[in-house]
Structure 1
Amino acid sequence: MTALRMRARDIMTEQELVEVRTRSTWKSIALIAHAWTLILASIAMVALWPNPLTFVLAVAIIGSRQLGLAILMHDGAHGCLAKEEKLNLFLSQWFCAWPVFAETKAYRRYHLQHHARTQQEDDPDLILSAPFPITRPSYRRKFWRDISGQTGYAQRKAQFFNALGEPSWPLRQRAAHFWQKLGPQILLNLVLLAGLTAAGIWWAYPLLWLLPLLTWMMVITRIRNIAEHAVVPDSTDPLRNTRTTHAGFLERLFIAPYYVNYHLEHHLLFYVPCYNLPRVHEILSRSPHAARMEVQPNYAAVLRLATAKPANEDRPGMLVSNVRRARTGADVDRNQAASGF
């Protein structure tokens, strides 16, 4: 099966294309700064007013901004953070990817295959959408594995052992391989730990950095994966094999940061920076293609579609499937980059 293609000039005028393709390094830097400001402000909130409410709120905000950093890294993988590739890669690696144990270049190699073969048999991301719809009990089990840290632990464990390389390799080769796969990520996290320790709040690193990374970020990564490609109407139609989901303020704060909900527009024009995707949506909504576009009003509506399988067909799964999926090189790259975009 082969997916249909749409040319950019079938979607909008030349002037509109110039407008939406324009990249602004300063806008990208502002989004990165916004993510880190919310992260540090959330940590400060708990340090100043330590109680269960501020802690839970901080975990949710920080987890969403960690996903936000992965989303901005995804923009970097498409060369959209800056006009110059060196600066684009610098911003993507140092401020977005490495702090959340991801890696832009490895993600780019795998992710471009997803764009070329979206929802086809050889789409490397098909495994994320193919199981749906599922039953509500099945989704509740997945939610529990995500929020309890089991999914995050399985992914990071697979990532760590992949970085160790083969036991038969010489020690020097294994050390070089480990540094290539995880060295900068560990270094950046040690810098973050050192900074928090110098501020007298070392405990914020395990409780307000690693914990959100292993829990809430996993919850909303799964929701995002479901919203983007699960239970779509037509796997061969570029307007219907992916989805845009409208997001209100709270959804953008806790679930869908930095325009990630405009996934249909991203697939049609993957070289458009994320902050221009709302403009692409506006143009498409006024076009003859509007009626065909797969758009849902919110994430609750998407989850209802994705959990519409009758409960009597429920088949409890096992956590080991997450580990098994993470053993191949491509899947490890996906896990490093927060399960694909």
Structure 2
Amino acid sequence: MPAVKAAKPNEIFTREEWAALTRVSRWHGLWLTLHGWLMVALVTGGTALLWQWHWLAGLIATPVALVLVGGRQLGLSILMHEAAHGLLHPRRKTNNFAGQWLTGSATGSDLHSYRAYHLTHHRFTQQSEDPDLGLSAAFPTSKASMRRKVIRDLTGQTFLKQRGNQFAVAWKGLQAMLSGAQDTAPSAKRDHSAGTPLNRNGAAGVAAPVVDLEGAKRTTRTVGRFLLIQLIVLLVSLATLGIWPFLIWLAALATTFQMILRIRNIAEHACTTTGGDDPFSHARTTKANMLMRMTLAPYWVNYHSEHHLFMGVPCYNLPEAHRLLLAKGYGPKMTIANSYAEVLRTVTRPVAAEA
């Protein structure tokens, strides 16, 4: 199918408005990266101190900490997504370093593989060529089905399945590296999508069978970076407050991060009236209060319609883009939900009701 129709900023914004919206700050993206890690340190460290003070206080605080840390892990993935668009820093090397090492590696992602994958998603949003179509095509679904998905996320089943797949690919890549094996199949026949199993947020996902040794080697390097970051988090944890901060970080990565990631994916495209000829229908924007911004919608990711309309706008300028669109009368053309609860009600209505 043809690529989806793109919005024309010059028909919507003045030259001054567009220049301000697309200006990439030299410090804002780096500050957000630091903010993400500081929030992780604050929450995991504070919870560890509560455990040391009294086991009951630690027990009560831990579920809250898991949700907050899972939200910051999503936040780090969001910032890698920013780097994939070249929006984390105006200097390309700094942008790519921050996107690869300071954000993406924390959740097991490869910036460069994700960039190619994600730009395809933008080009063919909700079309048959969209690599993310499977994340939204299954909706609406039943409440029972949604409940099973959430249970799998919160019990670590999703994490183990995804990491198992990614580590299996990495093992094949490591074997190829050690043996010096090279690809023998023609490049046109290689399955490059299998190289790094990523979902749309850059987090590890279930990939196709690997037939591309170079892709498997990339996954090996991705897993190596992921394990190195986990080791650094462990060492910092042990050097300060003991094992507890690391355990909270790892538990969140295996549980709440997976659930938060799923809800965020659903909110962005599921049950939207997407059409290739209408750029205003490609995604959903969801209003978020402070609690949602701390968990499901860090770093303005809830402004997803604005992001698809103008993917050159940094995340910290998306609220202003939203304000301008509403002021110029474009609100009725957009899909805007009042809350994430509203989105979940929309996507879990009985399938039979759609007939």
| TM-score, length of structure 2 as denominator length | 0.83
Which residue identity does 1:138 align to in structure 2? S
Measure, in 2, the Cα distance between the counterparts of 1:28 and 1:167: 34
Alpha carbons 1:165, 1:178 under 8 Å: kept: no
Shift in Å, 1:234: 3.1
User: Counterpart in 2 of 1:98?
Assistant: 105
User: Counterpart in 2 of 1:338?
Assistant: none
Which residue identity does 2:302 align to in structure 1? N
Measure, in 2, the Cα distance between the counterparts of 1:100 and 1:165: 21
Measure, in 2, the Cα distance between the counterparts of 1:125 and 1:81: 23
Alpha carbons 2:71, 2:296 under 8 Å: kept: yes
Counterpart mapping for 1:228-247 below 5 A: 228-236=268-276, 237-247=278-288
**Please, which runs of 5 or more residues in structure 2 have no aligned partner?**
52-57, 182-215
3-state secondary structure, aligned to 1:193: helix
Deviations 1:188-223 (A, max 9, x none): 211111111122412432x21111011111111111
Measure, in 2, the Cα distance between the counterparts of 1:96 and 1:168: 27
User: Counterpart in 2 of 1:13?
Assistant: 14
User: Counterpart in 2 of 1:191?
Assistant: 232
Shift in Å, 1:176: 5.6
User: 2:155 matched to 1:148?
Assistant: yes
**Please, which runs of 5 or more residues in structure 1 have no aligned partner?**
314-341
Alpha carbons 1:164, 1:177 under 8 Å: kept: no
3-state secondary structure, aligned to 1:244: strand
Shift in Å, 1:127: 0.6
Shift in Å, 1:235: 2.9
User: Counterpart in 1 of 2:130?
Assistant: 123
Counterpart mapping for 1:1-341 below 5 A: 1-2=1-2, 3-50=4-51, 51-165=58-172, 169=176, 171-173=178-180, 179-205=220-246, 207-236=247-276, 237-310=278-351
Shift in Å, 1:290: 2.0
Which residue identity does 2:252 align to in structure 1? P
User: Counterpart in 2 of 1:337?
Assistant: none
Measure, in 1, the Cα distance between the counterparts of 2:327 and 2:36: 32
Alpha carbons 1:129, 1:231 under 8 Å: kept: yes
Percent of matched pairs sharing the same residue = 40
Deviations 1:295-338 (A, max 9, x none): 0101000011100125899xxxxxxxxxxxxxxxxxxxxxxxxx
How many residues align? The count is: 312
Measure, in 2, the Cα distance between the counterparts of 1:7 and 1:233: 20
Point out the more displaced range, 24-33 or 239-248: 24-33
- Structure scoring higher RCO (CA < 8 A, sep ≥ 6) equals 1
Shift in Å, 1:243: 0.5
Point out the more displaced range, 125-134 or 175-184: 175-184
Alpha carbons 1:232, 1:242 under 8 Å: kept: yes
Alpha carbons 2:173, 2:219 under 8 Å: kept: no
Alpha carbons 2:126, 2:274 under 8 Å: kept: no
Alpha carbons 1:165, 1:177 under 8 Å: kept: no
